[in-house]
Amino acid sequence: MKKLKQWVLAMQFLTRIPITKAAMPAEPSDFKGAMCFFTFIGLIVGIFTWILFGVGSLVDPLLGALLATIGGIWITGGIHLDGVSDVFDGFGANRDAARTLEIMKDSRVGTFGVLALLIDFMYHLIGFYLLREDPYLMIWVPVSAKMAVCLICSIGRNVSKGMGSLWIQNISKIGLGFNLLVFCGVGISLVSGMEMILGLLIVGVTVFILNHKFSKKLNGLNGDCLGATHQLAEWVILTYLMIISKGMIG
């Protein structure tokens, strides 16, 4: 029963799928348990975008890519986009840690934030279109991004009292292992074993670099950093999958 509650909590936080309308009362241990399901929820999001791509491609692959991009934003409520825009605004201002965090907390979106959102939309639109010969690969994109969030939560340090504090430094070894199992299981069903291992390495290196940058600039992580990690990991793994689709690996 407790795991079911944690599953619902994760679904409520990460998606707009109407599991229940009632708010779930939760304790810190519930959020730790909910993290076990991050990559599995990424799988649900990935399958949803893949289906939308297939439906749109009945008309044209470009329409499929557009539907998949918009669908991905809708099903997640754009929860990670706020983070990537705030991080771009904060880091783009090139100020000290305190001022950067202040800019990131500002509800207004600046020039760098708008550019980040535009880049994100175009990257997904073009990336999904370029995967038109192997559209099933797009399923791995949100799975990989959720894996990246789990990894950075396990190695990063929290610096704020916002929503991010519910997840940062709050993932168990079992939770991390389960997410890794889902990541590898989905990966091996879509690409070769070597390509899956290389994908894991790419996600790991991406997380290491981002954690280093965030720690150096902000002395740790906040919720915006998690959102930025998610979206940047999607850009990186999407690029990797485009390379695989073009037969440039293996």
Q: How far is CA 6 from CA 18, 24, 33, 81, 212, in A?
A: 15, 9, 6, 24, 30
Mean pLDDT by 10 residues, the chain (250 residues): 80 84 68 89 98 98 98 94 92 85 83 94 97 97 98 91 80 93 97 96 98 92 94 98 87
Domain layout of the chain by residue ranges: 37-245
pTM value is: 0.94
Element (H, E) at 62: helix 61-76
DSSP character string of 208-227 = HHHHHHHHHHHSSB-HHHHH
In this prediction, residue 22 carries a pLDDT of: 60
Residue 202: count other Cβ atoms within 10 Å of its Cβ: 17
| 103 touches 89 (CB < 8 A) | yes
In this prediction, residue 196 carries a pLDDT of: 97
Amino acid (1-letter code) at residue 182: V
